[in-house]
Structure 1
Amino acid sequence: MIRALWTAASGMEAQQLNMDVIANNLANVNSSGFKKSRADFQDILYQTSKAAGTTATAGVEVPTGVQVGLGSRVASVQKVFTVGDMQGTDNELDLAIEGNGFFQVADTAGETLYTRAGALKKDSTGRLVTSEGFPLTPEIVIPQNATRVSIGQFGNVEVFLDGQSTPTQVGTIELARFSNPAGLSSMGRNLYAETTTSGTPEAGTPGDLGFGTISQGFLEGSNVSIMEEMVNMIAGQRAYEVNSKAIQTADEMLQMTNGLVR
């Protein structure tokens, strides 16, 4: 009976982590470029009382055996990199990637990080930077006398300078892609870092084979579905509830056993 207590407790613990994942998804429903996470579950050790295939009597084998599981656990929490809905903003520095790829930015230590959030700004020197002030890589600088910025679907950045009617190209946005984006390490602030399991980043121009294109004046919204997360929340709550009921039932059975009188 003690085994049932610990088995049900492992189920409650797994569902608690599942609820943490769902809560984080819902909290970021309005975060640009946010990618939802999903908890994957697996069963754990089994106690084998009788192995399948053992001999019961002469010439007779046990067909199935007796194995009792000891609960469940969360095997992984992975990011789901489906594309979110595109939201028009009419801001010339808001960019969305339609398809595969990440913007490349440099942090304060000079390390390259990756993001899908394209809400770019200009810093004091005219560089295109993220909301945290991290510049794009390769660096793109908008001249101070630029009156308008035009960013094409293939990443070419052109500006119209004051007094000029023809555009001047000041750079090209490059994207990076990974063979296993789910292996990226989430750094917060919509940033990801390369890991050994994500694979080596491959840089390329938007529109190249395997890379998405750029949409100016749009932001990629979160790929979180409120309806789906609410259903997952209800299912997780019920699973937590039924595991707690299993603990209660096991406790009552132990209480009955302890109350037996010779």
Structure 2
Amino acid sequence: MINFNIAQECLLALKSHSRVAFDHLKSRIDTTTFEIPMFNGLYSGASAMNTLSQHQEIISSNLMHVNTPGHRRNIPAIRQRFDADAGRRGVALGPEVESVQRDFSAGRSVATGRALDVAIAGDGFFLYNNGGQEILSRNGRLYRNPNTNELVSEDGFAVQGRGGAISIPPDVATRSITINDDGTVSADGQELGQLRVVTAPNNQELEPIGTLGFMAPNAGMVDADTTLEQFHHELSNVQPVNELISLIVNTRQYEAMQRAARSIGDTLAEFIRS
């Protein structure tokens, strides 16, 4: 027997595009409902639109951070959801974003001519300290803290050297600071410290902290065997052309699913009224 209340909920969920409505609907649908292919098609279409909407948000976020130094591109991991998730078999419920992974490939290195800009040529992260919390970041735009004379990020987090924070004497001109490819920081012939670059045991397990970087893991970090480039900084690894193409493709897929779901919805509405 057809459950007409659920049929009406299908239509409402389709019109609202509400993720909560879709999930609530899934929990309400019983075994006999999906014996009607029309219901399955309607729910699958609505689920696909919901997933495409989430994908659109991820693409938009990537584009927003094209010029954010050290930002890592987000990639949605999409899986096909089946009725077995609800204890039944054989019926596809449409796709869903299972998780969001990150692309840790290197971003574009840009020459700036600024003495306190440093880029990592290879794997690894700079290590920053924020009140005892260690943060990993590819952003090597450094500044001088006028109060502590330490090298810090633009957010004021002290960059860590092999011996802790690196201090620059107040009488040293910024333009006289040199940073060798091994991270050694010098000024006027005096060695002031060595920037620390580390790798994590599993980049995909790193927890992001906004656009700042990632929380350092409790264990497993090792010093990276890599080189640094002074007078450069690394931009995001987002490729704007690729993201724009994905945005167009995603939009067209959404519109196609919307037309298909609307057609099914109109047919179902007519069926309910008859």
Quote the Cα distance in structure 2 between the aligned partners of 1:86 and 1:211: 19
Indicate if the aligned counterparts of 2:181 and 2:228 stay in contact, CA closer than 8 A. yes
Partners of 1:195 and 1:84 in 2: CA distance: 23
Q: Does 1:175 pair with 2:197?
A: yes
User: 2 CA distance for matches of 1:159 and 1:195?
Assistant: 33
2:168 aligns with one of 142, 159, 167:
142
Which residue matches 1:249? 263
Aligned residue in 1 for 2:182: 154
Q: Distance in 1 between matches of 2:209 and 2:67?
A: 18
8 Å contact from structure 1 (residues 129, 135) kept in 2: yes
For 1:74 and 1:195, how far apart are their aligned partners in 2? 26
Unmatched 5+ residue regions in structure 1?
52-65, 161-166, 205-209
Which structure shows the higher helix fraction? 2
**Mapped pair 1:203 → 2:222:** yes
2:200 is aligned with 1:186: no
Q: After alignment, is 176-185 or 98-107 more displaced?
A: 176-185
71, 75, 95: which one aligns with 1:38: 75
- The offset of 1:85, in angstroms, is 1.1
Q: How far did 1:246 drift? A: 2.3
Cα offset, 1:195, TM superposition: 5.0
Aligned-partner Cα distance in 2 for 1:43–1:111: 38
Q: What whole-Å deviation, never above 9, does each CA across 1:139-178 have from its counterpart, x for those lacking one?
A: 0001112231111000111111xxxxxx111111111101
**Cα separation, 1, equivalents of 2:249 and 2:226:** 35
What TM-score, normalized to structure 1?
0.82
Measure the CA separation in 1 of the matches of 2:122 and 2:79. Answer: 32
Is residue 194–residue 201 contact of structure 1 (8 Å, CA) maintained in 2?
no
Shift of 1:190: 2.5
1:255 Cα offset (Å): 3.3
Q: Is contact 1:121–1:128 with CA below 8 Å preserved after alignment? A: yes
> Alignment RMSD, CA only?
2.0
1:217 maps to 231
How big is each residue's C-alpha offset from its partner over 1:25-83, in whole Å with a ceiling of 9 and x where there is no partner?
00011111111101111001236xxx9xxxxxxxxxxxxxx933111100111110111
2:240 counterpart (219, 226, 230): 226
Q: Does 1:68 align with 2:82?
A: no
Measured in 2, the distance between the counterparts of 1:12 and 1:225 equals 25
The match for 1:119 is 141
Identity of aligned residues (%): 27
How far apart are residue 253 of structure 1 and its match?
2.1
Distance 2:46 2:233 in 1: 43
Q: Aligned to 2:159, what secondary structure does the other structure show?
A: coil
Q: How many residues are aligned here? A: 229
**Alpha-carbon shift at residue 229 of structure 1 (Å):** 0.3
Distance 1:130 1:85 in 2: 19
3-state SS of paired residue (2:90): strand
Alpha-carbon separation, structure 1, partners of 2:168 and 2:269: 75
- Which structure's CA Rg is the greater one? 1
Q: TM-score, normalised by structure 2?
A: 0.78
Tell me how far apart the structure 1 counterparts of residues 109 and 154 of structure 2 sit (CA, whole Å): 19
Partners of 2:214 and 2:159 lie apart in 1 by 14
What displacement does 1:16 show? Answer: 0.7
**2:59 match: secondary structure:** helix
CA distance in 2, matches of 1:189, 1:232: 22
**Aligned counterpart, 1:57:** none
**Matched residue, 1:97:** 120
> Could you list the per-position Cα deviations for residues 90-123 of structure 1 after superposition, in whole angstroms to 9, with x for gaps in the alignment?
1111010010111111113x11111110110000
